[in-house]
Chains A and B, each alone.
Chain A
Amino acid sequence: MTAETGAPDPQVATDHPVTGLDEVVHQRVRLGILTIAHEARRAEFGYLRSQLDLTAGNLSKHLSVLEAAGLIDVEKGYAGKRGRTWITLTAAGGTALSDEIRRLKQLIARVETTDLPEDG
């Protein structure tokens, strides 16, 4: 006889895409920053601000979180007399972004599978 505890199967729990989501990346703005930095190779602070429709302070907070996690590099420089801040993706940032996208796709696949109407 086996005792049924009703607890979730640990194997199933660890396999679920939600369990692998990184809280640093799984946030709409930070995911947007990583996406832009990945596509643009390097993105300027003002460009990120306009694309993500954020205030400078708000964007700075998100950049600090990503920089502290080692996902982006922030480089300050000048264009003429104007100060400019450039953001580049680190190797860890690239991996985190691709992992997040893969897990989102897995989530969608799982939702589509479970959403199928039952026959009979």
Chain B
Amino acid sequence: MTTDPVPAGADPRRLLSDVRTLAHRVRVDQRVTWFALLVLAAVTFVGIPFDYYFLVLRCVGDGTGCQFSRQGVLYYWPPALLLAYAAIAVCYLRVARARGVGARVLPYALTGVGLTVLFTAAWIAARMYFPTHPQQFPEWVLVLDRLIAPWGTIGVALLVLARLERNVGLLVFTLGYLTVALVPIDFGWHWQGRDDTAFLPQQIVNGTVLLLGAIGFALAGRRRR
């Protein structure tokens, strides 16, 4: 770098290229993507026993008409997600400060908190209304239901983080994660033939995808440094 003013004949392309390179380096230094994914994976795995022990399954007659109530989702996920977003925000701020830059994480954390409030309100409303008004839903309603479920809101909030960080890798990962989270995965696998474990494959897959993402981004970050 020179301390002299740019000569009149300096190539503006080079100046703009320098600007883009510096901006990209700063964005990379602001990222702690692996930590965010690791926390979300941990929250997903720790939620499994809560979902299992607080699942209420009522089957009538020959078992063809069963009513599920995933009460563990309401007991566990709202506080767990709020704590997770707080932990992610604090970590981003501390790491960015240690690296000598500011952080861009606040809009992500606020989006996560907002989506957590939305999903909690939606699930409480559904729990109050649907037991007395049982009905069959079309598939698109079920996809929407999965989108505002905790694992869906995790993906939507990650899209915001990818935008904030201008992180194409995270965007691609999040789209893959959302595909997995929104498409019901049930390998027909019930643990010991029990219906109350039917949620397990989906949740294990979601947690595993997040964990693999955390490992991948951590390795990529280490290689870059």
- A-B interaction: yes
Check A54 against B1 for contact (C-beta < 8 Å). Answer: yes
Check B5 against A41 for contact (C-beta < 8 Å). Answer: no
| Complex interface: chain A residues within 8 A of B2 (CB) | 28-29
Q: Which of A18, A35, A40, A107 contacts B102 (CB 8 A)?
A: A40
Check A26 against B101 for contact (C-beta < 8 Å). Answer: no
Stretch from B21-29, B32-40, B179-187 contacting the other chain: B21-29
Report the minimal beta-carbon distance from B19 to chain A, rounded to whole angstroms: 5
| Complex interface: chain A residues within 8 A of B19 (CB) | 31-32, 35, 101
Check B99 against A105 for contact (C-beta < 8 Å). Answer: no
Check A39 against B23 for contact (C-beta < 8 Å). Answer: yes
Check A32 against B13 for contact (C-beta < 8 Å). Answer: no
Give residues of chain A (63-103) contacting chain B, Cβ–Cβ below 8 Å: 79, 101
Contact residues on B (Cβ < 8 Å of other chain), bracket: 20 to 34
Check B16 against A108 for contact (C-beta < 8 Å). Answer: yes
Check A35 against B23 for contact (C-beta < 8 Å). Answer: yes
Check A42 against B3 for contact (C-beta < 8 Å). Answer: no
| Chain A residue nearest in CB terms to B27 | A39
| Complex interface: chain A residues within 8 A of B26 (CB) | 35-36, 39-40, 43, 51
Q: Which of B16, B25, B101 contacts A105 (CB 8 A)?
A: B16
Report the minimal beta-carbon distance from B30 to chain A, rounded to whole angstroms: 7
Tell which of B6, B18, B101, B103 has the most Cβ of chain A within 10 Å.
Answer: B101
Check B3 against A104 for contact (C-beta < 8 Å). Answer: no
| Complex interface: chain A residues within 8 A of B22 (CB) | 32, 35-36, 39, 51
| Complex interface: chain A residues within 8 A of B8 (CB) | 18
The reply to whether the CB of B104 lies closer than 8 angstroms to some CB of chain A is yes
A-B pairs, 3 with minimum CB distance: A47-B100, A41-B102, A44-B100
B interface with A by C-beta (< 8 Å): 1-6, 8, 10, 12-13, 15-16, 18-19, 22-23, 25-27, 29-30, 97, 99-104
A interface with B by C-beta (< 8 Å): 18, 23, 26-29, 31-32, 35-36, 38-44, 46-48, 51-54, 58, 61-62, 79, 101, 104-105, 107-108, 111
